[in-house]
Amino acid sequence: MSGQHHQSVSRRHFLEQSVAWGAGLTGLQLLVASGTSFGQSADALGKAAGMPGGFGPLIADPKGRIDLPEGFTYRVVSRMGQLMADGLSVPGRQDGMCAFPGPDADTCILICNHEIENEWVHYSPFGKQGQRLLRINRFLAYDVHGERPAIGGTTTMIYDLKKQRLKGQFQSLVGTVRNCAGGPTPWGTWLTCEEDVSRPGDGGCGEYHGYVFEVPPYTNVRLTKAVPIKAMGRFLREAVCVDPRTGIVYQTEDREDGLIYRYVPKEPGNLLAGGRTQALALQDRKQADTRNWPFLPSADHIEVGEKRVVRWVDLEDVDPKEDVLRAHGVSAGAARFARGEGMVWANDAGGGAAYFICTMGGTIGKGQVWRYRPSEHEGTAQEAASPGILELFAEPNDLDVINMPDNVCAAPWGDLMVCTDNEEGHDYLAGITPKGEFYKFAYNRKTESEFAGVCFSPDGSTLFFNLQDEAMTLAVTGPWSKRM
C-alpha cells in the first residue's frame, strides 16, 4: 500500500489477529491466576528503594548514566540529530513507543512518538531552519500548510535483536503536534495521540489538533498518510489501549480534571469507519471525583481494592472547536480523573482488563493505578445488565514506592513496568509485581530527564525506553529469566 493509509481489515483478519495478539500479550497473565492483586496498602507494599524484590538492588553505572540491577546492560539505540534513511534528522522529545514483530525472528520494528510543539524547532526532523522540509511528500502530512509546519509525529526504527543494533530509521508520520503516548492495536498498528488542542492560528497551525492517527509498522522508508480519526474525539489525549475481543478503544486524557473515554467502532479494526465516543461514569454516583485529593470537598474517597460499577455516557459533539469535551462529559455525569496518562491492555485469568495510570491521583497527588474490567457485553445493548467494573488497583501515597508514574507496559513475566516523570527530578523505571510489590529497575543517574516509551520486544529479550530530555532511545538486555 505505497503511500496509502492503513484503512481497514476484514472481520476474519481482525479476529485472527486478535487471537494472535491475545496469545502474545503474556504480561499480567498471572495476576488473577495466582490469586493476588496490586490492591494493597503502602505499609504492605514496603519501600521500593530498599525492598529485595524485582531483579535485586541497582548497581551504580560507572558511566554515570543509567543504574540497573546486576547482569543488565544498556546501549543507546538512537539519538536526536542523527541523519535518517529519508534524509531527515532524528527528532527530539521521544515519548510513547511500541515494538512490533519484524520481517524475521531477529528483527523488531519500533514506532516512536515525538512530543514536539511547533515552536520547538530545535527538536524538528527538518533541521532548525526547516531546510529538509522539501524532502517530504506534503500530501501525506497533516498540517504543514499553515504559518509554520507542525513538527510532531512518529519515527520508525528497525532493530536487530540478535546483534543488538539499529538497522535503519525514518520519519513515519508528520504534521502533528505533541505526539505524547498512544497504544498498539490487535491488528498490528500503532495509534499515536496528540496531547494538544491547538486551533488554526495557534502557534502557526493551519489545522485543528487533538486527534488520534494510525501508523502501520512498515519496514520500507515511507510516510504514512496522516488522517485524523475525528470520531474518536478531540481533547488533550494521552494514551489508548484496545480490547482485542471487541476492538473497543479506551483512552486517557492528560488533564487534572480529565475523563476516561472509550470508542466503540462500527467496524472493529477500521477506526475511520466511525463509531461512538463515550465517557466513563460510576453507576451509583454522577460526576464522581476519583482523584482522592483531601483538599477537594467534592472528592469521593475510593479505597485501594474498592470496586465500582461503571456506566458509559454518550457524547454528542465529539469534535468541538473549543477544548470542552470533558466539560460536556461531566455535565452528562462522567467521573473526573487526575491526569490520565499511561494505559495498557493486559490479558489475565479474568478475561483481560485495561490498566491505566493517573499521574497526580491519590491523597498526596503522586500517582494511582486503576483497572477497568469490561463487561462481557461491552459496547452492546446488553451491557447494562452486566456492566464493567472499575477498581483502584494501587495508590501507595509513598514517594519511596512510586512518584508520579506515567507510561506503562506489561512485562512478559506478569509485572507492570512503569516510567516516572516526577517534579523532584529523580526519575526511574519501576516494576509492580502480581503480589503488589513495587521495585525499581532503572534509575537516571545523570540528568533529570523522565523515562518514557517503555516497551518490550515481541520475543521478550529486550526492553526499550526513551530519555525524553536527553532525546535518545535505549535498549536493555539481561537475565530476564529471574522473573520468568
In a domain, 71, yes or no: no
46: left (phi over 0), alpha (psi -120 to 50) or beta: left
CA distance 242 to 60: 38
Report the SS3 class of residue 427: coil
In a domain, 155, yes or no: yes
- Asked whether residue 48 carries a pLDDT value surpassing 80, the answer given is no
- Asked whether residue 415 carries a pLDDT value surpassing 60, the answer given is yes
Using 50, 70 and 90 to split pLDDT, how confident is the model at 300? Answer: confident
Using 50, 70 and 90 to split pLDDT, how confident is the model at 484? Answer: low
pLDDT tens, residue by residue, 68-95: 999 999 999 999 999 999 999 999 999 9
Report, as an integer, the average pLDDT of 208-237: 98
In a domain, 404, yes or no: no
- Asked whether residue 19 carries a pLDDT value surpassing 50, the answer given is no
Using 50, 70 and 90 to split pLDDT, how confident is the model at 22? Answer: very low
CA 106 to chain centre: 25
pLDDT tens, residue by residue, 232-259: 999 999 999 999 999 999 999 999 999 9
Which has the minimum average pLDDT: 48-52, 205-209, 439-443?
A: 48-52
Q: Structural domain of residue 187, as residue ranges?
A: 80-201
- Asked whether residue 173 carries a pLDDT value surpassing 70, the answer given is yes
* Percent of the residues in the chain that have a pLDDT greater than 90, as a whole number: 79
- Asked whether residue 30 carries a pLDDT value surpassing 90, the answer given is no
When divided into structural domains, the chain yields a total of: 1
Instruction: Report which residue type is found at 122.
Output: H
- Asked whether residue 106 carries a pLDDT value surpassing 90, the answer given is yes
In a domain, 170, yes or no: yes
In a domain, 125, yes or no: yes
Q: How high is the pLDDT of residue 348? A: 75
Which has the minimum average pLDDT: 33-37, 168-172, 275-279, 408-412?
A: 33-37
Q: How high is the pLDDT of residue 28? A: 34
In a domain, 450, yes or no: no
Q: How high is the pLDDT of residue 10? A: 37
In a domain, 484, yes or no: no
pLDDT tens, residue by residue, 108-130: 999 999 999 999 999 999 987 67
pLDDT tens, residue by residue, 223-233: 999 999 999 99
Q: How many CA atoms lie within 13 A of 361 on its CB side?
A: 34
Give the CA distances from residue 38 to residues 215, 368, 396, in Å, rounded to whole numbers and listed in that order. Answer: 33, 11, 10
263 and 248 in contact (C-beta within 8 Å)? yes
- The residue behind cell 521521544 is 94
Residues 194, 452, 436, 377: is their CA dihedral positive or negative? positive
- Asked whether residue 265 carries a pLDDT value surpassing 90, the answer given is yes
Q: What is the pTM of this model?
A: 0.90
Q: Return the higher-pLDDT residue of 140 and 8.
A: 140
Sheet holding 179-184, edge to edge: 179-184, 190-194, 212-215
Q: How high is the pLDDT of residue 13? A: 39
What average pLDDT is seen over the chain? 88
Q: How high is the pLDDT of residue 149? A: 87
CA distance 261 to 193: 13
Q: How high is the pLDDT of residue 53? A: 64
Q: How high is the pLDDT of residue 465? A: 98
Q: How high is the pLDDT of residue 433? A: 78
In a domain, 145, yes or no: yes
Using 50, 70 and 90 to split pLDDT, how confident is the model at 297? Answer: confident
